[in-house]
Structure 1
Amino acid sequence: MTDVLLQVLEVLCVAAVALGAVPVVVGVYQYLLVPVHAVTNHWPRSAPYLPRVVVVLPAWNEGAVLEPSLERLMHLEYPPDRLRVLVVDDASTDDTPDVARAMAARYPGRIRHLRREQGGQGKAHTLNHGIRQALADDWMEALLVMDADVIFAPESLRRMTRHLADPEIGAVTGYIAEGSRRPAAVARFVGFEYVAAQAAARRAQNVLGAMACLAGGAQLHSRVNLEAIGGEIDTTTLAEDTCTTFLTQLGGRRVVFDPTVHVLAEEPASIRALWKQRLRWARGNVQITSRFRKVWFRPSRDHRLGSVSFGVVWFSVFGLPVAAVLASVGLVVLHAVNDVAALELFTWLWWLAVVAYVYVTLLTLMLDHRTARRAWFEGLAFPGLGAIVVMVAAWRPNTWLELVGIDVTQETRTVLLYVLYAWPLVAMMLAWLLKLLDGVVRWRWVTSLLLYVVGFGPLLCAVTLDSYLKEAQGAAATWDKTEKTGRVMG
């Protein structure tokens, strides 16, 4: 290989590693915006406001969770004569219809049971059945979309409606936290992730003035906003909540996140259930990214979705798996071309990763003390114990080789460096193995241990890669419901 080709290859490798580091830099940038939310938020423009609210609650085989959710709604700190609930039964085959009818009888005029005979079309179709009923009556002034298993804090709705006192606000969302009584390892990881993705990231998005997604189980819309986006939820994507969020902002109305609105939800307890849920979400984001391709990086006076800041944040999350692969491959190939340059670049990445890990983890744990008490170890292990070992080993590689009794030779040092460089890619490959092993009883302890070694972050990256493949293959886009068992704390 000629010197010119080697130089070109070296430049390409450095560029790949630099691109791979972008999501880390953007993640730190987004977290630096979180404290700014204390002074840049919508609260000064909010005011006591109690519009007539219709709650649309989609329910397909939700008999185990429906009654406590409805009871909590009936006891919200909100005027009873200004709150009505539509339970949209999506052709359930369990006791959901019986529960809904019993609750409607217990609270006549406040709860209504709507039955769809053709079910299984997805959440958006179910929601639209209820939204049409709500819009057909002039009574409704605001509409709350929720999931059947979520539990709203007593003051939550009142805190959401206060933002609608500002006519510029089209929709409001709150903080959904994992609320199982005794969460398994997967659910504890989800709990920490929700703090990062909602309590932290959505605070930052409030500051940026552009919201990526209304929480699917807690979104309040003004009637004006619902009518402006067409009077229904989009049914052509698996990310109907994200699509609604974008359409709201493209129409010139703002979307805000209120971190004081607390909602508890039951989350998947197994890797396979999580994979199914997140694959749907990730494929929806692929569809959204394509559908709104004319919005990205095109600033507008009407909305902030086209801002450079929001675009960088969106694509850093969306392309995180690609970035991880680029960084790993770039370092491995660069080591073969110029091992000194590879080590220097890795050292720079090491310091960036360590600073980001410490800052992001500590701030995330500070934002939700309840989750911090329940999932502090999962927070520390979020990138994977393997990644933490890699970070520590990279600090003094010769020392670690000596500690484990391996002679420090050029060959062993090279092998160690290759492992360090390639770990993000290895972790994502192990995440696929996790999915295969999950559910096999005799491997349960291996799966649990491997989850902590691999980390939740690499697992989510693997799911996102799977979503790329499924979309490229044109796989059937079905709305798979996550099974709920009623583990949410009352």
Structure 2
Amino acid sequence: MANTLFYTALILIWGMLLYHMFLMQGGYRHFKTFDRKIPEWSKNMKSLPTVSVFIPAHNEEVVIEQTLKAMSRLYYPKDKLEVIVINDNSSDRTGEIGRSFSEKFPFKKVIETRPPNRGKGKSSALNEALSQSTGDVIVVYDADNTPEKMAVWNLVMGLVNDPKAAAVVGKFRVINAKKTWLTRFINIETICFQWMAQAGRWKLFNIATIPGTNFAIRRSVMEQLGGWDVRALAEDTELTVRVYNLGYHIRFFPAAITWEQEPETLGVWWKQRTRWARGNLYVVLKFLSRIFKLKRKRIIFDLFYFFFTYFLFFFGVIVSNALFIINLFYDLKLSIGNVAVVLWGLAFLLFLAEVMIALSIEKDEMNRSNFFCVILMYFTYSQMWIVLVVYSLFLEMKRVLFRQEVRWYKTERFSQKRGDVQ
């Protein structure tokens, strides 16, 4: 029994590692080729659509000013642009700061959430803005974001030149990457996500996932879908599945770049990532139960990826770790012997190779400091994710069994200064 479990765990772990290596080569190819379209695409940017930028904000006085300054620098005709701060039941100066910008810039305004949307979380705030905006294209940014000057232009350019795309998602970078060891780990994680999970899946399978920020989506699609799901903690992943089920695709276009703040303490990281993990578990359980009713079978592939990641892969890691520890104190008579040590070593080297290739894509990120960070990350940060997913699964099971109401956690912000983005 122990041998069967151990072999099963190894197959699951190595399956995920090899799949990510496969995605990595797709991501690298996308990095080398995505900007070749820009000169031709730029010629079609004559009759521009109107754009509404949504910034959901609940108690964001620490960061909202820097975000609105970045919005002032956006390269897009101001007569076709409206920037909407959605003040969602804030008890600080968020609304006051937003209104000070709206007095100086006619294309910026502040709206207040109203019942039933008030204080219910990001999805409700976005639905409020959808009902009070006019843009043909909806662009979403979190309140801690400083998009680069060409970010919105590039997102819209992707939609203008790809009629089959319901949404275009850009790249996000970590603005406080060097602040703590934790933000260094998150920076590495973020870069890997961009070039493996996003670019690789887009290049190889024409699949990408809508993130929580720095994406553009057609208003017509949002209206057809009836807005955002207010029960989804990972409203972005949930929206992704419904968009694909309509028959559209989602394009990853890394020319659109934003800089965002990441958690600087373990407590904030734990709460944020728990919300993410619970949100993704909600999406998997919601749509797997309807898997045979989905019209577009391509998205089944993505649902299986999330299922594999959050259930099978983590099951394999937990089982292998448990068997290894138990075998130290009690002989389980594992027949694999020293081969297990070799496979573990190879898995670590493969992880290291994948991450360093991803880092090489971003300027100045492949260096000695990050090399040692990746090694430390494998033994600390990666293991923390295992505990977090198990905890999140427990919370989701409890919510379903006891029919508990979903509660939104707003990520705590930190004071941050950065030079002008490009």
TM-score bracket relative to the smaller structure: 0.7 to 0.9
For residue 229 of structure 2, what is the aligned residue in structure 1?
A: 234
Q: Secondary structure at the match of 2:149?
A: coil
CA distance in 2, matches of 1:123, 1:484: 16
How do 1:95-106 and structure 2 match up within 5 A? 95-106=93-104
Q: Give secondary structure in 2 for the equivalent of 1:329.
A: helix
Mapped partners of 2:212, 2:386: distance in 1: 21
- Among 287, 293, 318, the alignment partner of 2:288 is 293
Whole-angstrom distance in 1 between the partners of 2:293 and 2:11:
26
- 1:12, distance to aligned residue in structure 2 (A): 4.1
2:54 counterpart of 1:56: yes
Residue 300 to residue 36, structure 1, CA distance change in 2 (3 Å)? farther
The residue that corresponds to 1:115 in the other structure is 112
Residue 78 of structure 1 aligns to a residue whose secondary structure is coil
List per-residue Cα deviations over 1:347-381 (Å, max 9, x = no partner). 23432x14412321211211222444684542332
Match of 1:142 among 137, 145, 151: 137
How much is the aligned-residue C-alpha RMSD, in angstroms?
A: 2.7
Deviation string for 1:368-413 (max 9, x for gaps)? 22444684542332202xxxxxxxxxxxxxxxxxxxxxxxxxxxxx
Partners of 2:283 and 2:360 in 1: CA distance: 32
Q: Deviations over 1:310-352 (max 9, x none)?
A: 455333422332221122234567893435523224423432x
Q: Does 1:363 align with 2:362?
A: no
Residue-by-residue CA offset, 1:135-187 (whole Å, 9 max, x unaligned): xx4xx210101111100001111111111122101001111111027511111
Please give the per-residue CA displacement for 1:183-212, whole angstroms capped at 9, x wherever unaligned: 111111111110011233200110243545
Q: Give the letter for the 2:413 counterpart.
A: K
TM-score where L is the length of structure 2: 0.87
Contact in 2 for aligned 1:361/1:380 (Cα 8 Å): no
Instruction: Measure the CA separation in 2 of the matches of 1:348 and 1:375.
Output: 24
1:457 aligns with 2:382: yes
Task: Return the TM-score normalized by structure 1.
Answer: 0.76
For residue 13 of structure 1, report the CA deviation from its aligned partner: 3.5
Call closer, same or farther: CA 1:24–1:295 in 2, change over 3 Å: farther
**Which runs of 5 or more structure 2 residues have no equivalent in the other structure?**
none
Deviation of 1:19 after TM superposition, in Å, equals: 2.8
Q: Deviations over 1:65-101 (max 9, x none)?
A: 1122112112111111111111111121111111111
Return the letter of the residue paired with 2:410. K
Greater C-alpha radius of gyration = 1
Could you say if the C-alpha distance between residues 76 and 362 of structure 1 is closer, same or farther in structure 2, counting changes exceeding 3 Å?
Answer: same
Q: Structure 1 488/478 Cα, relative in aligned 2: closer, same or farther at 3 Å? A: farther
Aligned AA (2:140): V
1:19 pairs with 2:6 = no
Question: More deviation in 77-86 or 363-372?
Answer: 363-372
Aligned with 1:223 (options 212, 215, 219): 219
1:47 counterpart SS class = helix
Question: Tell me, which stretches of 5 or more residues in structure 1 are unaligned?
Answer: 1-7, 385-454
> Counterpart in 1 of 2:151?
156
- SS of the residue aligned with 2:317? helix
Pick one of 78, 83, 101 that aligns with 2:76. Answer: 78
**Could you tell me which amino acid in structure 1 is paired with residue 288 of structure 2?**
R
Matched with 1:213 is 209
- Counterpart check, 1:471 vs 2:396: yes
Task: Answer whether contact 1:145 1:218 (CA < 8 A) is retained.
Answer: yes
Q: Structure 1, residues 280-306: CA drift from partner, whole Å, max 9, x if none? A: 00000110000110566x798845212
Q: CA 1:10 to 1:483, structure 2 compared with 1: closer, same or farther past 3 Å?
A: closer
> CA–CA distance in 2 between the matches of 1:174 and 1:383?
27
**Which residue pairs with 1:305 in the alignment?**
299
Aligned to 1:423: none
Q: Is the 8 A contact 1:176 1:215 kept in 2?
A: no
Query: How many residues are aligned here?
Result: 403
Q: Residues 63 and 371 of structure 1: is their aligned pair in 2 closer, same or farther, counting only changes over 3 Å?
A: farther
Contact 1:237 1:287 (8 Å CA) reproduced: yes
Distance 2:111 2:187 in 1: 33
| Post-superposition CA distance 1:232-258 (Å, at most 9, x none) | 111111111111111111111110111
| Structure 1 residue matching 2:413: 3-state secondary structure | coil
Change (3 A) 1:149 1:129: same
Instruction: Confirm whether residue 317 of structure 1 aligns to residue 282 of structure 2.
Output: no
2:253 maps to which residue?
Answer: 258
- 1:75 partner letter: R
CA distance in structure 1 between the aligned counterparts of 2:206 and 2:287, rounded to whole angstroms? 14
Judged with a 3 Å threshold, the aligned counterparts in structure 2 of structure 1 residues 204 and 237 are, in CA distance, closer, same or farther, namely same
* Alpha-carbon separation, structure 1, partners of 2:6 and 2:326: 7
CA shift at 1:480, angstroms? 0.8
Does structure 1 conserve the Cα–Cα contact (< 8 Å) formed by 2:9 and 2:315? no
Letter in 2 for 1:237: A
Aligned to 2:126: 127
Report if aligned partners of 2:280, 2:306 keep a CA contact under 8 Å in 1: no
- 8 Å Cα contact 1:59/1:148 also seen in 2: yes
Q: 1:19 to 1:201 in 2, by over 3 A?
A: closer
Q: Displacement, 1:15? A: 2.6
Preserved CA contact (<8 Å) 1:57 1:86 = yes
Counterpart Cα distance in 1 of 2:55 and 2:13 = 41
Preserved CA contact (<8 Å) 1:279 1:467:
yes
Specify whether residues 101 and 114 from structure 1 end up closer, same or farther in structure 2 by C-alpha distance, changes over 3 A only.
Answer: same
Whole-angstrom CA distance in 2 between matches of 1:177 and 1:157: 15
One of 21, 33, 47 as aligned partner of 2:26: 33
Alignment-derived partner of residue 415 in structure 1: none
1:32 shift after superposition: 3.0
Say if 1:476 and 1:467 are closer, same or farther in 2 by CA, change over 3 A: farther
Matched-pair contact (CA < 8 Å) for 2:24–2:358? no
Deviation at 1:276, TM superposition (A): 0.2
